[in-house]
């Protein structure tokens, strides 16, 4: 009896271990994207356009540009070109975790920090 349960458990674990999310990161290197997050209890949306090594963010009517340096197909570093303060001088490490036809889920953190956050960006163009 225990043998049957053990066999079923091992089979289930084996099948789950083979699952890996889809990651077509190349489809998200360039384009126009939107990302929403909650700030002080209010949902705010950022739109950004990424082409080659340049990314321009549009947030609350202001544009901000950054350099993009790809580490591999699914990871890149973003560094603001014109930081306004010391915290904006820090680079951000972005890692695409999974993709769908029109979105990607990513993890990000300030380079050197272990605090990571997640989000989902949607390709609009």
Can you give the residue ranges of every domain in the chain? 21-123
The gap between the terminal CA atoms of the chain, to the nearest Å, is: 56
CATH fold label, 21-123: Lipocalin (2.40.128)
Q: CA-CA distance, 108 to 117, in Å (whole number)?
A: 5
Q: What does the pLDDT profile of the chain (125 residues) look like in tens digits?
A: 666 655 565 565 555 555 556 778 999 999 999 999 888 888 999 999 999 999 999 999 999 999 999 999 999 999 999 988 988 889 999 999 999 999 999 999 999 888 999 999 999 98
Q: How far is CA 95 from the centre of its chain?
A: 5
* Helix, strand, coil tally for the chain in percent (to 5): 20, 50, 30
């Amino acid at each position: 009896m225990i043998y049957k349960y053990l066999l079923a458990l091992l089979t289930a674990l084996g099948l789950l271990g083979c699952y890996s999310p889809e990651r077509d990161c190349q489809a998200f290197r360039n384009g126009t994207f939107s990302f929403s997050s909650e700030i002080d209890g209010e949902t705010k949306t950022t739109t950004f356009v990424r082409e080659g090594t340049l990314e321009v963010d549009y947030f609350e009517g202001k544009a901000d540009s950054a350099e993009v340096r790809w580490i591999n197909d699914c990871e890149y570093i973003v560094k603001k070109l014109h930081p306004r303060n010391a915290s904006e001088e820090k680079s951000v490490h972005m890692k695409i975790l999974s993709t769908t036809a029109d979105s990607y889920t990513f993890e990000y953190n300030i380079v050197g920090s272990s605090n990571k956050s997640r989000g989902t960006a949607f390709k609009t163009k």
